[in-house]
Amino acid sequence: MVQYGFYFDQSRCIGCNACSVACKQWHGISPGPEKWMRVYQWETGAFPNVKLHFLAISCYHCANPICLRSCPNGAIFKEEGFGAVLIDREKCKGERRCSKACPYGSIVFASDEPGEKASKCTMCLDRLAEGKKPICVLSCSMRALEFGPLKELQERFGCLNTLEEMPPPRVTEPSVVFKASDPKRPRIRWDVEKTLRLWKSRGPYAPEGTPDLFDSEDDLSSLPEGMVGRNRLVLKARNVQELMYYTTDDD
């Protein structure tokens, strides 16, 4: 068996959700938490060093899928053509052990109702059978996604198979190659101290006695706890409401 996999260039992703929407349209999935392709967006840092992070993630069709071993009903299997990890919906009893085992949160449910059957990315096997690439790859206008034999992807892009804040890959051996986002660097030279000084003052046209916009630089560079809602990557949602919160803006 030749293992196929995905490539994701984090430096190109802009969080537009085209891949997620295209996936739902192609597979006929209703709007809501049943997301085979999820796009996460979170923010770190404070002025003047704010950074937005994006991650588009489906299923990595691992070489050692622990979701498969965790299912007591034998509903998960690895097909031989492309190495896709699939769910047999007829065997699935909705026990959710597979979801708890998967470190990437790739197994999803349409609701929190007991017995709800699991679903996940199928690697677009119907398209692969016709010699086409997965719909998420073709829908990305930024060319942040690629697909093919895993060894070929590794030869082209390297062997990085995890990103910062993601779980370690050594147990599951995910069939994925990453390119991490570029380090944040200034595009235009500017004087931070002068900017803060000018920003603090309300200017010559403000009424006399008008207070400054802020008292010190710390008011801008240190954020109170809870001010930024999505300030970290959360792949394992506790329920569908939390999943929708961390993967918003795609429906």
Q: At 168, which CATH number?
A: 3.30.70.20
> For 48-98, how does the pLDDT look when each residue is reduced to its tens digit (9 = 90+)?
888 999 999 999 999 999 999 999 999 999 999 999 999 999 999 999 999
In a domain? residue 226: no
Q: Are 179 and 203 part of one and the same domain?
A: no
* Shared domain check, 209 and 147: no
Average pLDDT of span 92-117 = 97
Q: How many CA atoms within 13 Å lie on the side-chain side of 2?
A: 7
Spatial contact of 178 and 163, defined as CB atoms under 8 Å apart = yes
DSSP state of 14: -
Question: pLDDT tens across 170-199, in order?
Answer: 999 999 999 999 887 777 788 888 888 888
Is 251 a domain residue?
no
Residue 251 has pLDDT above 90, yes or no: no
Boundaries of domain holding 151: 4-185+231-246
Structure tokens, 245 = 């919160």
Q: Are residues 120 and 172 in the same domain?
A: yes
Global confidence as pTM: 0.89
Helix (H, G, I), strand (E, B) or coil at 26: helix
pLDDT at 198 (0 to 100): 84
Least confident of 22-26, 129-133, 209-213: 209-213
Domain match, 176 and 78 both? yes
Q: State the CB neighbour count (10 A cutoff) for residue 136.
A: 24
Shared domain check, 175 and 196 = no
Q: Determine the pLDDT at residue 46.
A: 83
DSSP class of residue 29 equals P
CB-based contact 62:173 (threshold 8 Å):
yes
Amino acid found at 209: G
Counting the structural domains of the chain, the total is 2
Are residues 199 and 154 located together in one domain of the fold? no
DSSP 118: P
Q: Which positions ≥6 away from 117 have C-beta within 8 Å?
A: 87, 89, 92, 94, 109
Domain check: are 121 and 201 in the same one?
Answer: no
Query: What average pLDDT does the segment 118-141 reach?
Result: 98
